[in-house]
Amino acid sequence: MGPALRQPPAQRPELYAFSRLDLITAGIYVAVGAFFATASGLLAPLVLRLSPNPAVASYAVNLLIYAVIGLLALSAARQVARRDLRVLATRPWFTLLMVPLTVVAAMILTAILVAVAGTPQTSANQAGLQALMQQVPAWLMVPLLVIVGPFVEEYMFRHLLIGKLSRKLNIWLCCALSVVLFATMHVVGQEALTLPVLMPYLAMGATLVFVYVWTGKNVMFSYFVHASKNLLAVIFIYAIPPEILEQLQ
């Protein structure tokens, strides 16, 4: 890879110092995640007041929460995001080629690791998303699953846990934490943390960590990969009838 995409963050170390806004954003994210993992039932009566349809009400709550956290994350990481976009703009063909290739590689890696882990299992998180998507139109799901959600997760699990935390801890330890916490976050509070359930998220987390580090800690590149993977999943689920999708799984 050419030097333009491996611009070392050390040239601007102030971008990788934890700010007060980072701590506020991460604190809200962790608090919300902990609440939904342990006491989400307390919110159910209030959520149902938004809509008699539980799926629509759940979508509205998730979109509101992610929109708030997403705006905070964008504000906190705006200088890094702007710099990373400029770096990617110097190699547009690299970005256009490598993003889809990385998504394909992630799918292949996931298939291999899931096969090695044992009997494939659909996680409760995945099943819940599929049930939600059967009742909410695609044009409403795209902002949550393709635009806002991936950016929040890349900010949390790559930019903060690797880009910033690696100034204080060994970078490989930070990478391992990123992969494990990314996978756990998608499962905890919904079902047992078993390897077959965690494996798809571990594979995706490992892929995103790899491309983040490989591109010189370019959070926008990992975001484009994450968003593209989610977009492909949205297209796949909406394009295939539910009964056929269930048979495929």
Question: Are the CB atoms for 153 and 182 separated by under 8 Å?
Answer: yes
Instruction: Please give the DSSP secondary-structure letter assigned to residue 244.
Output: H
The closest of 222, 65, 216, 209 to 151, measured between CA atoms, is: 222
* Whole-number Å distance between alpha carbons of 180 and 7: 27
Q: Is 28 exposed, middle or buried (0-12, 13-18, 19+ CB in 10 A)?
A: middle
Candidates 61, 100, 49; CA nearest to 229 is: 100
pLDDT at 89: 94
Q: How far is CA 94 from the centre of its chain?
A: 22
Question: How does DSSP classify residue 18?
Answer: P
Residue-by-residue pLDDT tens, the chain, 249 positions: 444 454 444 457 778 999 999 999 999 999 998 888 776 666 666 666 666 677 777 788 888 999 999 999 999 999 999 999 999 999 999 899 999 999 999 999 888 888 887 666 666 666 677 777 777 888 888 999 999 999 999 999 999 999 999 999 999 999 999 999 999 998 876 666 778 788 889 999 999 999 999 999 999 999 999 999 999 989 888 887 655 555 555
DSSP 10: G
* Token pair belonging to 48: 């149902």
The answer to whether 148 and 212 have CB atoms below 8 angstroms apart is no
Q: Which two tokens stand for residue 54?
A: 């539980």
CB atoms within 10 A of CB 103: 21
CB atoms within 10 A of CB 96: 11
Identity of the residue numbered 79: Q
> What does the angle CA 5 – CA 94 – CA 234 come to, to the nearest 5 degrees?
110
How far apart are the C-alpha atoms of 73 and 208, rounded to whole Å? Answer: 18
CB 165 within 8 A of CB 144: no
pLDDT at residue number 16: 92
Q: How far apart are CA 158 and CA 185, in angstroms?
A: 14
Alpha-carbon span 28 to 16, nearest angstrom:
20
